Amino acid sequence: MPNYITHVGFDKIQNEIENIQKLLKGDVAKKIGEARALGDLKENAEYHAMKDKQRLLATRMEELSQMLSGAEIIENLDLPAGKVTVGKKVYLRNLDKDRMDIYTILGPVESDVDNDIISYETPIARQLMMKEEGETVDVQVPIGTIRYKIEKIEPYDPADINQKSDDPLPF
């Protein structure tokens, strides 16, 4: 399955990869060289600490690269109007509690439950996929069943997402 991501999320990951590359080639490499110059590497705590940092950064860079591997930009997809899909903001009337629940459905990399951004991989999103405005849906959740009426479906607006373009992604 492709990894769906917004252009903003894609750019954030790209920027983080570039920053890690700069660190690895610059500051980390310099400090490893300086620590190596201090002598015996077996008992050189500075050297080992910088090598650990180098490994952690390389691992993080690999994780980020995997996130971009096979990524599909949501804004480039031809998404059907009026249906719940990735890249949509969904207004759900909870018929049991008579309240409105609003979710934006994006990819797992950008999910942020505190801001009602859920992954298309979540059980709720999977049960809503391809449903239309006006439909009533029984959504199975761990605590039971929630009965929703889909009031409105609209494309997500990047301005609604509470992530600034220069903030790191919440991993």
Closest CA to 102 of 86, 117, 87, 114: 117
Tell me which of 3.40.50.300, 3.10.50.30, 3.90.550.10, 3.30.43.10 is the CATH number of domain 79-157. 3.10.50.30
The hierarchical CATH code for the domain 3-73 is: 1.10.287.180
- pLDDT computed for residue 164 by the predictor: 42
**pTM, entire model:** 0.76
Q: Both tokens of residue 167?
A: 């903030």
Name the residue ranges covered by the structural domains of the chain: 3-73, 79-157
Strand partners, 149: 93, 136
Model pLDDT for residues 132-149, shown as the tens digit of each residue: 999 999 999 888 999 999
b/e burial code for range 19-46 (CB count within 10 A of at least 16 → b): ebeeebeeebeebbeebeeeeeeeebee
Tell me what pLDDT residue 161 has.
Answer: 65
Give me the mean pLDDT over the 49-58 stretch.
92
Share of the chain above pLDDT 90, in %: 65
- Residue 165 pLDDT level (bands cut at 50, 70, 90): very low
